[in-house]
Structure 1
Amino acid sequence: MKPRAGVALTSVMMALTLTTGMIEAVSFLVLGPVFTAVQTGNLLFLAFALVGATDLSPAASGVSIAGFAVGTVLGSRLESEVDRRGNRWFVVALLAEGVLLGVGALLAWRTGIHPPTGSGEPPTGRHFAVIALVAAAMGLRNVTALRASVPDVPTTLSTRALTALLSGLPPTADTRIGSGARHEGRRLASVGAMFTGGMLGAWLLDAAVAPAVVLLLTAALALCLGTVHWATPVERTSVRG
């Protein structure tokens, strides 16, 4: 069952975009520097590190890429199988993502991961474990975003939304990429959600909130969104396909 397009679905994807900013704040400022959602950054970090760039961990980037790949493959299989059986794959995807983020938060809590007290502290095995779990959740999320196909809201990357936003501004709007208040509003909200999430995550960490708590907040939101969709009648939230 495919989630029905509309304000409700767009709002869910915007909320997930906000949590991406929070997650990447933890990833970059505490676990790395590394990204768990924006894999373009990891590919570049890995390339830089392999030719001798300092303060970068090729292991952290590699673990994140591997975790993301596993999450993408397993997430694709899971969502496709649930969909094949005629069930609500979007709900399952949100709940599965929330569980992965929750396990990552629990591991960060149990292993005592905190923001580094100095520069140049390399990530350790406990960091790698959390990176892998969170990256797997983000791989699954990317599959969900592709299947949901909400225009201008990929949830883990704002480059295209920002490009479309700027290209659609009058008086030189590019009509081939869509223009108008509805398109521009959605793009602006997408970029704003990512920025706000990053700022919120960094602020929480700066206020001495444990990284595990920040991750737990993102997990709780994914679980809440999944639960709400599960409890909402099918005819109002989903369509065949």
Structure 2
Amino acid sequence: MSAVLREARATLLPDMAGAQGPLPPLMLVLTVLTGLVDAFSFLVLGRVFVANMTGNVVFTGFALAGSQGFPLLASLLAFGSFVVGALAGGAVAHRAREHRGRLLRRALLVETAVVGVAVLLMLLSHAPYTGTVRLTLIALLGLALGVQNAAVRALAVPDLTTTVLTRTLTGAVADSRLVKGPGGRVGRRGLSVLALLTGAVGGALAVRGGHPALPLLLALAVLAGTCTAAFLLARGDAPWTRPRTGG
């Protein structure tokens, strides 16, 4: 238990002079954001994920098989816009690959701008969001999360992907000391799971409480704060800003 707590503390309060610097807690914040946005998309926009593409592929399969309640167009739109966002995020990452701080800052600027447009559209419309408004919100949010995922992949912070938790959970168990592994890093990986769960629970409670716009408003606030932190932290050339070369 003490090792788990040490891992969790090192993730939440990292060595700013270390190889990852402030990136681990920032990745956890973006993981909370993912939970909020997917709660909004699934519960408000209707059985579609804008961050979890594995879910959308499965939903597309259900729709193609004729299952009711799984809108094919929405899943395909989310998937396509995510791909476009990942392409844009990849372009940002490759242009700033020599400085991870600038990479994060630029990607967050793009993501914040796109989510800001989505929030504006949402506020100018009225729930329930249907028709063109719904499809536009799906496209914008898919685009934004595609940018985020491409940037997070380029930053390559171990065990903190902000979206994909299947591999995280597998690693925590398969690498554990119980099976003579090197250690499952449960403290670090567990925080990633908890962060996504926190965002999803918070978003779902807001929607159930009759505030369908609140998850996306919270997501924009989280992005604005993370973006501000990235601007302040990325000014210098600390060790964490250098390209990651391994492990």
TM-score (norm 2): 0.84
Residue number in structure 1 paired with 2:179: 172
Separation in 1, partners of 2:227, 2:220: 11
Residue number in structure 2 paired with 1:203: 205
Alignment check: 8 A CA contact 1:97 1:219 kept? no
Shift of 1:112: 1.4
Counting only pairs closer than 5 Å after superposition, residues 133-172 of structure 1 correspond to structure 2 as 133-172=140-179
Alignment check: 8 A CA contact 1:91 1:226 kept? yes
Alignment check: 8 A CA contact 1:100 1:134 kept? yes
State how many pairs are aligned: 226
Equivalent of 1:190 in 178, 189, 192: 192
Cα pair distance change 1:86/1:190, threshold 3 Å: closer
TM-score (norm 1): 0.86
Match status 1:61 vs 2:75? yes
Match status 1:218 vs 2:225? no
Alignment check: 8 A CA contact 1:168 1:184 kept? no
Deviation by residue 1:23-70 (Cα, 9 ceiling, x = unmatched): 111111011210000111111111211121101100100110111011
Separation in 1, partners of 2:154, 2:176: 28
Match status 1:40 vs 2:54? yes
Cα pair distance change 1:230/1:238, threshold 3 Å: farther
Deviation by residue 1:195-225 (Cα, 9 ceiling, x = unmatched): 11111110111122232x3212212212221
Cα pair distance change 1:230/1:19, threshold 3 Å: same
Alignment check: 8 A CA contact 1:68 1:136 kept? yes
Cα pair distance change 1:71/1:128, threshold 3 Å: same
Task: List runs of 5+ in structure 2 lacking aligned partners.
Answer: 1-16
Cα pair distance change 1:74/1:4, threshold 3 Å: farther
Secondary structure, aligned partner of 2:159: coil
Cα pair distance change 1:4/1:126, threshold 3 Å: farther
Secondary structure, aligned partner of 1:131: helix
Q: Percent sequence identity over matched residues?
A: 32
Task: List runs of 5+ in structure 1 lacking aligned partners.
Answer: 116-122
Secondary structure, aligned partner of 1:171: helix
Separation in 1, partners of 2:79, 2:206: 26
Residue number in structure 2 paired with 1:118: none
Residue number in structure 1 paired with 2:231: 230
Match status 1:26 vs 2:27? no
Measured on the aligned residues, the alpha-carbon RMSD in Å equals 2.2
Cα pair distance change 1:25/1:85, threshold 3 Å: closer
Equivalent of 2:95 in 64, 81, 90: 81
